[in-house]
């Protein structure tokens, strides 16, 4: 049995999601500054070292295969292909504004990620890497882009999908998978946990702000049309 929502309920759900997103952003930022404030010390902070030691203790062939796959699913080429597919889908559904919003945000968050990396110049962890990569460590590009994309998609799913149960199931899956992409980067050895949490914090704050602007402009456009 399907539980169908009205358009008004969808709009209310989207507003509640924005509130939740604000809480998530504040939570990640707070956790980063309270628990990970020493992270930029040589070799990582206390929490970074604890997580790295734990990850090394649970590594095995099966788990490594899974984590490498998840990690590579967040690679640049995959992100580009996925973004193109999302844009095409939005256009096919006559959601031109949503398509442009998604494309611009993914591009913007990628630029932000690289800019922060250049400014922080944090070296990557030393040790046994399961994937090859260059560049700096903070923030995790995989984490920031996958989480930003996921949070935007969840907003649109909650806004447009009338099947309440399906909307929540898909949203939870997307969020968990985006989180796993970030965590997999720690497992494969190329990031500290603070790189990942920092990426999530930046992504959450950015998406919250841009969605507020997007929603505000949508309301203004509707008002002008009515007038």
Nearest Cα to Cα of residue 48 among 56, 39, 57? 39
**Topology, domain 1-224:** Vanadium-containing Chloroperoxidase; domain 1 (1.20.144)
- Residue 68 to residue 57: CA distance in whole angstroms: 17
pLDDT tens, position by position, 190-200:
999 989 998 99
| Residues contacting residue 200 through CB under 8 Å, at least 6 positions apart | 28, 143, 144, 147, 179, 182
pLDDT tens, position by position, 83-100:
999 999 999 999 999 999
Q: How far lies 216's CA from each of 5, 95, 227, in Å? A: 23, 17, 17
pTM, to two decimals: 0.84
Contact between residue 142 and residue 119 where contact means Cβ atoms under 8 Å apart: no
Higher confidence at residue 152 or residue 36? Answer: 152
List the chain domain ranges. Answer: 1-224
Count the residues in the chain.
227
């Amino acid at each position: 049995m399907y539980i169908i929502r009205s358009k008004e309920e969808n709009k209310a759900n989207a507003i509640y999601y924005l509130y939740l997103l604000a809480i998530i952003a504040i939570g990640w930022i707070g956790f980063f500054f309270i628990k990970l404030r020493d992270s930029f010390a040589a070799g990582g902070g206390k929490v970074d070292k604890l997580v790295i030691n734990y990850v090394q203790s649970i590594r095995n062939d099966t788990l490594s295969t899974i984590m490498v796959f998840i990690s590579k699913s967040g690679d640049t080429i995959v992100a580009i292909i996925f973004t193109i597919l999302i844009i095409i889908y939005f256009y096919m559904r006559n959601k031109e504004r949503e398509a442009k919003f998604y494309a611009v945000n993914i591009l913007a968050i990628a630029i932000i990620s690289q800019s922060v990396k250049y400014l922080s110049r944090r070296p990557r962890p030393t040790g046994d890497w399961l994937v090859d990569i260059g560049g700096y460590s903070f923030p995790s590009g995989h984490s920031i882009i996958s989480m930003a994309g996921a949070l935007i998609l969840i907003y649109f799913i909650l806004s447009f999908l009338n099947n309440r149960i399906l909307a929540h199931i898909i949203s939870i899956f997307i969020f968990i998978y985006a989180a796993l992409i970030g965590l997999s980067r720690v497992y494969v050895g190329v990031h500290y946990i603070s790189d990942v949490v920092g990426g999530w914090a930046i992504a959450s704050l950015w998406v919250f702000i841009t969605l507020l602007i997007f929603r505000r402009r949508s309301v203004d456009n509707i008002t002008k049309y009515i007038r």
